[in-house]
């Protein structure tokens, strides 16, 4: 019989755009005893998680809860629940994950209209507003922070234009929630999808979502109750039901509401982790957390540019929690990443599609976003680049980052 060794994953400094390092307090929370999903003690934890999600999403929405599964599960749950076959969906694309929204929408039977910009740039909000008025879509689906390109899309006026056109605005904020302001109500976002494994610093496995009464109204028009749970004479909607049972927001609402109508077995340990992760976000304070992400981004960028590396993308729309670097000509980017991992225990990311082999991506997200990690990655990257014969300004990067940190400390109020 084959014997397997005890599990002992290596300790890494994870500086990718997700997953990131997890706070030990979150890992500890995952080790707590399992409660039954209808135990009053557990349902109170569910209620507290919903309360904290409202604060993090900056919303008064009734509905704010996690979908069990990776971030894509939340995206699918929202889209499959609001898109009916034949609905027109407008998708502005400026990176990989805009294309994902197109693919899911098409699978839901939507008529998809795409707006595309070159990767490394974003849309002027007026371009999207004009397209909404021209196309008159039922739904606008777009990405807030595009980790594939390190860009962030502004939303000025887009929510108002959707209200004017009676279109729902669905936003993928997987990369930004907990690290960059996501103002659900102020920006008039109808549904927002987050992720746990990025700025919230919780393991991958849940996707927090929130949506308002405009989305709920469409969900309820298609609502059904699972056959095995229907009571005698229960009313059944005459409209085509949501194509997915697991991702049906109408059913999930009943599960997260005081009804507690059984739908699935809640991922108990993941809920513990999410609750603790959200508690830590709110303990730090949203504004302080946003400032922390900007402070470490500034130090990282100062070090990289002083080293002589060039950043990828339009600096005016740079995503604060992801920094993209052009791989110097003639250098094997994967060899550099491999040496960083195997020699220094640091993981950074490459990219996808048309950017494959052209850029590295460094994430400064959540628990991974700290001075030790930024200085560690700068020193190690310089050493590895020199080893591979790259022309860099040796000895300058760490000093530039330290100066940036010192300058940031001087600006802090007493």
Q: Tell me the per-residue pLDDT of 187-197, one tens digit each, with 9 for 90 and over.
A: 999 999 999 99
Q: Distance between CA atoms of 67 and 392, rounded to whole angstroms?
A: 45
Q: 146 and 69, same structural domain?
A: yes
With contact defined as beta carbons under 8 Å apart, do 165 and 133 qualify?
yes
**pLDDT tens digits along 240-266:** 889 999 999 999 999 999 999 889 999
Taking residues 17-22, report their average pLDDT.
Answer: 97
Pick from 229, 257, 281: which residue ends a domain?
281
pLDDT classification of 414: cutoffs 50, 70, 90: very low
**pLDDT tens digits along 131-165:** 999 999 999 999 999 999 999 999 999 999 999 99
pLDDT at position 236, please? 67
3-class state of residue 179 by DSSP: coil
**pLDDT tens digits along 343-377:** 999 999 999 889 999 999 999 999 999 999 999 99
Say how many domains are in the chain: 2
Q: 228 and 342, same structural domain?
A: no
Q: 312 and 166, same structural domain?
A: no
CB atoms within 10 A of CB 38: 10
Beta strand pairing call for 151-152 and 145-146: antiparallel
In a domain, 7, yes or no: no
Q: 303 and 226, same structural domain?
A: no
In a domain, 3, yes or no: no
CATH number at residue 59: 3.40.640.10
Pick from 236, 254, 281: which residue ends a domain?
281
Q: Which H or E run includes 322? A: strand 322-326
Pick from 281, 297, 321: which residue ends a domain?
281
In a domain, 211, yes or no: yes
What is this structure's pTM? 0.96
**pLDDT tens digits along 94-127:** 999 999 999 999 999 999 999 999 999 999 999 9
Q: 323 and 212, same structural domain?
A: no
Q: 147 and 256, same structural domain?
A: yes
**pLDDT tens digits along 184-241:** 999 999 999 999 999 999 999 999 999 999 999 999 999 888 888 887 766 666 678 8
CATH number at residue 310: 3.90.1150.10
| Torsion angle of C-alpha atoms 224, 226, 231, 233, degrees rounded to 10 | 40
pLDDT classification of 413: cutoffs 50, 70, 90: very low
Q: 127 and 36, same structural domain?
A: yes
- Domain range for residue 366? 285-411
With contact defined as beta carbons under 8 Å apart, do 153 and 94 qualify?
yes
Q: Distance between CA atoms of 15 and 166, rounded to whole angstroms?
A: 41
In a domain, 2, yes or no: no
The rounded percent of the chain whose pLDDT value lies above 90 is 92
Q: 215 and 78, same structural domain?
A: yes
Q: Could you tell me how many residues make up the chain?
A: 414
Taking residues 78-96, report their average pLDDT.
Answer: 97
């Amino acid at each position: 019989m084959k014997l397997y060794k005890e599990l002992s994953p290596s300790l890494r400094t994870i500086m990718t755009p997700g997953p990131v390092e997890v706070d030990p307090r979150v890992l500890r929370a995952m080790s707590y005893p399992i409660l039954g999903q209808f135990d009053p003690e557990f349902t109170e934890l569910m209620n507290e998680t919903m309360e904290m999600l409202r604060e993090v999403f900056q919303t008064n929405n009734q509905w704010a809860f996690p979908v069990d599964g990776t971030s894509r599960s939340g995206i699918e749950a929202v889209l499959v629940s609001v898109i009916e076959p034949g609905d027109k969906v407008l998708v502005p694309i400026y990176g990989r994950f805009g294309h994902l929204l197109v693919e899911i929408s098409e699978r839901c039977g939507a008529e998809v209209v795409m707006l595309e910009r070159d990767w490394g740039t974003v849309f002027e909000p007026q371009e999207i507003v004009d397209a909404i008025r021209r196309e008159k879509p039922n739904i606008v689906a777009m990405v807030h922070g595009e980790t594939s390109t390190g860009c962030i899309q502004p939303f000025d006026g887009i929510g108002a234009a959707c209200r004017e056109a009676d279109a729902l605005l669905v936003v993928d904020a997987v990369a930004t929630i907990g690290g960059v302001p996501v103002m659900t109500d102020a920006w008039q976002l109808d549904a927002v999808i987050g992720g746990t494994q990025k700025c919230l610093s919780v393991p991958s496995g849940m996707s927090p979502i929130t949506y308002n009464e405009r989305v709920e109204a469409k969900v309820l028009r298609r609502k059904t109750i699972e056959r095995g749970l229907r009571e005698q004479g229960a009313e059944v909607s005459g409209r085509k039901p949501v194509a997915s049972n697991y991702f049906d927001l109408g059913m999930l609402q009943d599960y997260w509401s005081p009804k507690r109508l059984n739908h699935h077995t809640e991922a108990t340990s993941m809920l513990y982790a999410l609750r603790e992760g959200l508690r830590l976000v709110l303990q730090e304070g949203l504004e302080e957390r946003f400032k922390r992400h900007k402070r470490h981004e500034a130090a990282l960028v100062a070090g990289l540019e002083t080293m002589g590396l060039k950043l990828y993308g339009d600096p005016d729309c740079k995503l604060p929690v992801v920094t993209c670097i052009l791989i110097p000509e003639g250098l094997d980017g994967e060899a550099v990443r491999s040496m960083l991992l195997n020699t220094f225990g640091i993981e950074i990311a490459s990219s996808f599609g048309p950017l494959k082999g052209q850029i590295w991506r460094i994430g400064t997200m959540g628990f991974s976003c700290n001075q030790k990690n930024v200085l560690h990655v700068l020193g190690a990257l310089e050493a590895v680049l020199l080893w591979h014969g790259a022309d860099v300004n040796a000895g300058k990067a760490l000093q530039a980052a330290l100066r940036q940190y010192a300058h940031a400390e001087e600006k802090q109020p007493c």
